[in-house]
Amino acid sequence: MQELTQTEIDWIRDTCGNKNERTKLKTVAFVGILIGLSLMLLGALGQLTSGAADWTESFKTLGFVGVFTGALFLARAYERHVRTTRAVLTKLAPDLHAFESGHDAI
């Protein structure tokens, strides 16, 4: 296995982002999903106790937006992880990359 040069390491970091960035994206995603689910639950409980009040619909709508936004952040973190893995595989194991893409490794 070949050693990476500092230029290649910098390229991978610049292209893919670092692990801390992906961790922050995942944290924001899970917090957004939890807040969204809490708002949806609060809206549903409010609707059960007080009938069809305006604030219950607002809470359910805000909860849906929170869950959806959290899911988008989670998808972005996953996409960054996949891109990092691909970049490292391309640099470290070109034969494996060629095999996976269906080309003959030379």
Report d(CA 42, CA 70) in Å as an integer: 18
Which has more confidence, 67 or 12? 67
Contact 57, 43 (CB under 8 A): yes
- Reply yes or no on whether the pLDDT at 95 is more than 70: no
- Reply yes or no on whether the pLDDT at 90 is more than 80: no
For 12-28, write each residue's pLDDT tens digit: 666 666 667 777 778 88
Tell me what pLDDT residue 105 has: 45
* Domains in the chain: boundaries: 20-101
- Reply yes or no on whether the pLDDT at 42 is more than 80: yes
DSSP single-letter state for residue 10: H
